[in-house]
Amino acid sequence: MKEALALNKVEDDKIFQIIKKDSTKLYLQSSYGFWYTYIHKVEENLPTPEKGKEVTIEYNITSLNNSVLYSKADLGIKKYIIDQEDFISGLQKGIKLMKLGETVTFVIPSYRAFGIAGDGKKIGVNHPIKSTVTLINIK
């Protein structure tokens, strides 16, 4: 347990340093353990996705230093039912903060991404990620 907490703190410190260097954007910290910044924010009072709603998103996954791990072209358009399908934990929570048409970059520590297993391909063990998501549709 101590080791996990220490690893989480190291990751959080690394993420904080990256966010601090990116002074052109305002990053918000969620109560779910990830950070996010709006690339395109919708000011209208539109609803956000709720449990059971199907959303259509376009997204990518990069390392913290912006090396592309999976491009939007690699991942394609994804349909996802909120809180009813297996998906990246940080993105599950993050998408529920978004309004239709918004694009948000999420900075997600490994414990809210792929954790101690990685994805078995391009994302390693305990690897924090960034993901830029556009919310295309809510049904």
What is the Cα Rg of the chain in Å? 15
pLDDT at 56: 98
As a whole number, mean pLDDT of residues 23-43 equals: 94
pTM of the entire predicted model: 0.92
| CATH code for the part of the protein at 2-138 | 3.10.50.40
Residue 18, pLDDT > 90, answer no
Mean pLDDT of the chain: 93
Percent of the chain with pLDDT over 90: 76
For tokens 């954790």, what's the residue? 115
Q: Which of 7-16, 58-67, 75-84, 91-100 has the lowest mean pLDDT?
A: 7-16
C-alpha closest to that of 49 among 11, 98, 5, 1: 98
